[in-house]
Amino acid sequence: MPSLTLGDFELSIFSDGTYPLDGGAFFGVVPKVMWSRKVTADERNYVQAGLNSLLIRTGKQTVLVETGMGNKLSERMIKFYGQPAKLLANLSAAGIAPEDIDIVINTHLHFDHCGWNTVRGKDGKIAPTFPRAKYYAPEGEWQYARRPSERDAISYISENYDQLVESGQMTLLKGGEQIVPGISVKTFPGHTAHMQAVIVESRGRTACYISDLIPTTAHIDLTWGMSFDLYPLQTIESKKQYYAKAIPEKWLTVFTHDPKVPWAFVEKDDAGKMVASSA
Ligand SMILES: [Zn+2]
Please say if the pLDDT value at position 1 is more than 90: no
* Dist. CA 110 → ligand 1 center (Å): 5
Please say if the pLDDT value at position 126 is more than 90: yes
* Dist. CA 186 → ligand 1 center (Å): 16
**Rounded CA separation 178/196 (Å):** 12
Residue 36 amino acid letter: S
Which pTM value belongs to this model? 0.97
Please say if the pLDDT value at position 124 is more than 90: yes
* Dist. CA 189 → ligand 1 center (Å): 11
Q: Is residue 141 exposed (0-12), middle (13-18) or buried (19+ Cβ within 10 Å)? A: buried
Q: What is the pLDDT of residues 177-224, one digit of tens each?
A: 999 999 999 999 999 999 999 999 999 999 999 999 999 999 999 999
